[in-house]
Amino acid sequence: MKEVIESVRKMLSDGLFSDEQHVRFSLVGRICQKLGWNVWNPAEFYTEYPVKKYPPQELTTELRGRVDVALFLADKRTDKAEVFIEVKSPGKLPYELPSGEAQLQRYNYWDKAAICILTDGITWRFYLPSEGGPFDGTLFNEFNILDDRVDFICQTLDKVLRRENFRKQAVQTASDMYEELGKIRLINKVKQKATQIASDTGMDIYLIAKQLLIQTEHTDLKIEEIVELWERTLPGGSAPTPPPPPPGDKVSVFINKKSVKASGLFNPNTNQLVLCKNSEIVMNHSQSFDGAYLEGKIQMIDSGTLYLNSTQDKYILRQDVTFKSPSAASRLVLGRSSNGFTDWLDSQGRPLDRHRIKNRG
């Protein structure tokens, strides 16, 4: 599988997949074949599968009611699909995520597939429909073929998409991942406060987190679980990527307010700030966020540099972006007028202003 992923990664980087059909067969089909599915048997690798029990009130001439790829266990002679895969053109998923999830939710209206996948070949999002509720809330894993570690991609595919694991083992693994993801979300809610308290008191950070989880989230996790999941991030970049160790005299900084988390690297010599990949950006902004600031944000959305998270309540930064000043970066993050030297905090929770070189020039 490693060789397949590395080959696909290179082909994607070279721009060889130009449309949805390329992704469906040459990419998705290739991976499925490696995982044991017979892509040459239409009873097993069923393209354009017509959903038999589609909600009749929603059928229109514009809505086909066909799954791009449905995987069946042909030898089991069952009419229940194991996997539904909805495919988009490369790079289109950030723009078509809500509609793609709505499609999969409708396809699972009556007979739920064991696992659903939404992909543009680059981003792969995995859902467990049996969890019920809003479809986007059934997400249990996600990876990016271009950015994530090859070993992580291979392990994920092997656990939840290998044919021989269907259906019991694959669903159990997906359920375990879903449960773990919920714990990661809870830990992330208290992580910043636990870090600050530990810094102020010298107490064990994981014990503090455990106490905060009980007090604020009414959840009691074992210390071992908290330690294991502490550095884990959420699918889709819901947690900012920790900045690398600052080269030279650069300063690691963060923002954690207005329900967004962002990280960056500040250069005191140039006053520039690098806003790090996976930082969160508010969706709604104040009236003061206008002119060149608003135009810049719109351009970042149009180019895909900013994309909506799974709950569609904030934007996620796809790549590192350099700003001329800390205030320009924090203004984007918070969607309002901002003094970057007070809104950005260093790793000790102190305002960035203490790292500014005063009386420059």
Q: First vs last Cα of the chain: how many Å apart?
A: 56
E strand or H helix at 314, and its extent? strand 314-317
- Write out the DSSP string of 168-200: HHHHHHHHHHHHHHHHHHHHHHHHHHHHHHHHH
The third-level CATH classification (topology) of the domain covering 2-166 is: tt1808, chain A (3.90.1570)
Question: Domain segments of the chain: what residues?
Answer: 2-166, 186-233, 251-355
E strand or H helix at 253, and its extent? strand 251-257
Amino acid 327: pLDDT = 92
Local confidence band at 360 (pLDDT 50, 70, 90 cut-offs): very low
- The pTM of this model reads 0.60
C-alpha dihedral (81, 83, 89, 94), degrees to nearest 10: 130
Amino acid 194: pLDDT = 87
Amino acid 96: pLDDT = 83
Three-state SS string over 106-139 comes to HHCCCCCCCEEEEECCCEEEEECHHHCCCHHHHE
For the ranges 47-56, 264-273, 287-296, which has the lowest average pLDDT? 47-56
Does 351 have pLDDT greater than 70? Answer: yes
The DSSP output letter for 47 is E
Q: How does the average pLDDT of the chain come out, rounded?
A: 85
Determine the 3-state secondary structure of 150 from DSSP: helix
Tokens of residue 342, six digits: 């007070």
